[in-house]
Chains A and B, each alone.
Chain A
Amino acid sequence: MSDESRLTEQHFSGVLTRVPFKGALSAALARYMPLESENDFEVFAELPASDAPIFLNFTEHYQILDALVKFANQLWSEDLCILIRLSMPGGMRLPADLLQANVLLMQDVAPEVARLKGQVAHLLVIDDHLLRYQLEQGHNQMRISLYSQGDKGINQRRFAQLIAPLADYGIEPI
Chain B
Amino acid sequence: MSALTLRSVAFQPIKACLFESVKRPAISQSFDWVSGLIQAQTEQVLSQLTEAEKAQIERHFLCSTMVELPFTTGDIAWSEVAQKLTQQGLNNPDTYINAYECASWGYSLRHYLNYAKPEQSRFLLVSILDANFYDLTFWRYNENWHESGFGVTTILLEVTKEVTNELITQCALTHNSMAEFATVVRRTVTGKEDVCLALPFFPEHIQEMFNKLLAKQWRLPDLHHRWGHCFGSDPWLSILCHSLENPPLEDQKYMAASLALNGYFAMAEVVVNQHTQLILNEEAAYV
Give me the interface of A with B, judged by CB distance under 8 Å. Answer: 33-37, 39-40, 43, 47-48, 81, 86-90, 92-94, 96, 99, 101-102, 104-108, 110-112, 115-116, 119-120, 135-137
Residue ID in chain B nearest A36 by CB atoms: B137
Check B115 against A89 for contact (C-beta < 8 Å): no
Using Cβ atoms and an 8 Å threshold, which residues of chain B touch A48? 73-74
Check A90 against B99 for contact (C-beta < 8 Å): yes
Using Cβ atoms and an 8 Å threshold, which residues of chain B touch A111? 82, 94-95
Q: How distant is the Cα of A47 from the Cα of B73 in the complex, in angstroms?
A: 7
B80-132 CB contacts (< 8 Å) to partner A: 82, 94-101, 107, 110-111, 114-115, 117
Contacts A101-B114, A120-B115 given: A106-B72 contact, CB under 8 Å? Answer: no
Check B114 against A87 for contact (C-beta < 8 Å): no
Using Cβ atoms and an 8 Å threshold, which residues of chain A touch B97? 104-107
Q: How distant is the Cα of A92 from the Cα of B71 in the complex, in angstroms?
A: 19
Q: How distant is the Cα of A83 from the Cα of B134 in the complex, in angstroms?
A: 30
Check A108 against B82 for contact (C-beta < 8 Å): yes
Check A88 against B95 for contact (C-beta < 8 Å): no
Check A94 against B72 for contact (C-beta < 8 Å): no
Using Cβ atoms and an 8 Å threshold, which residues of chain A touch B169? 99, 101
> How many contacts A-B (CB < 8 Å)?
102
Contacts A93-B171, A104-B111, A107-B78 aside, 17 further interface pairs with beta carbons under 8 A come to A34-B142, A37-B137, A39-B135, A47-B69, A87-B99, A88-B65, A89-B68, A90-B99, A90-B101, A99-B107, A101-B111, A102-B114, A107-B97, A108-B82, A116-B115, A136-B72, A137-B74
Using Cβ atoms and an 8 Å threshold, which residues of chain A touch B236? none
The distance from the CB of A132 to the nearest CB of chain B, in whole angstroms, is 10
Check A90 against B262 for contact (C-beta < 8 Å): yes
Q: How distant is the Cα of A34 from the Cα of B140 in the complex, in angstroms?
A: 12
The distance from the CB of A151 to the nearest CB of chain B, in whole angstroms, is 23
Residue B138 lies at the interface, judged by CB distance under 8 Å to chain A: yes
Q: How distant is the Cα of A36 from the Cα of B101 in the complex, in angstroms?
A: 24
Residue B244 lies at the interface, judged by CB distance under 8 Å to chain A: no
Residue ID in chain A nearest B117 by CB atoms: A119
Instruction: State which of A33, A36, A88 has its C-beta within 8 Å of the C-beta of B98.
Output: A88
User: What band does the interface of chain B fall in when counting residues whose beta carbon is under 8 Å from A?
Assistant: 35 or more
**A-B pairs, 5 with minimum CB distance:** A105-B99, A137-B74, A108-B78, A107-B96, A36-B137
Looking at B24, B107, B115, the one whose CB has the most chain A CB atoms below 10 A away is: B115
Instruction: State which of A33, A87, A115 has its C-beta within 8 Å of the C-beta of B138.
Output: A33
Give me the interface of B with A, judged by CB distance under 8 Å. Answer: 24, 59, 65-66, 68-69, 71-74, 77-79, 82, 94-101, 107, 110-111, 114-115, 117, 134-138, 142, 169, 171, 262-264
The distance from the CB of A87 to the nearest CB of chain B, in whole angstroms, is 5
Residue ID in chain A nearest B264 by CB atoms: A99
Q: How distant is the Cα of A96 from the Cα of B172 in the complex, in angstroms?
A: 10
Using Cβ atoms and an 8 Å threshold, which residues of chain B touch A39? 24, 134-137
Instruction: State which of B59, B65, B72, B79 has its C-beta within 8 Å of the C-beta of A137.
Output: B72
The distance from the CB of A54 to the nearest CB of chain B, in whole angstroms, is 14
Residue ID in chain B nearest A48 by CB atoms: B73
Check A93 against B263 for contact (C-beta < 8 Å): yes
The distance from the CB of B127 to the nearest CB of chain A, in whole angstroms, is 14
Residue ID in chain A nearest B114 by CB atoms: A101
The distance from the CB of A46 to the nearest CB of chain B, in whole angstroms, is 9
The distance from the CB of A137 to the nearest CB of chain B, in whole angstroms, is 4
The distance from the CB of B94 to the nearest CB of chain A, in whole angstroms, is 5
Check A86 against B99 for contact (C-beta < 8 Å): yes
Looking at A81, A96, A112, the one whose CB has the most chain B CB atoms below 10 A away is: A112
Ordered by A's residue number, 30 sampled pairs between the chains whose C-beta atoms are within 8 Å are A35-B136, A35-B138, A37-B137, A39-B24, A48-B73, A48-B74, A87-B68, A87-B99, A88-B65, A88-B66, A88-B99, A90-B99, A92-B262, A94-B99, A94-B171, A94-B262, A96-B171, A101-B110, A101-B169, A104-B107, A104-B111, A105-B97, A105-B99, A105-B100, A106-B99, A107-B96, A107-B98, A119-B115, A137-B73, A137-B74
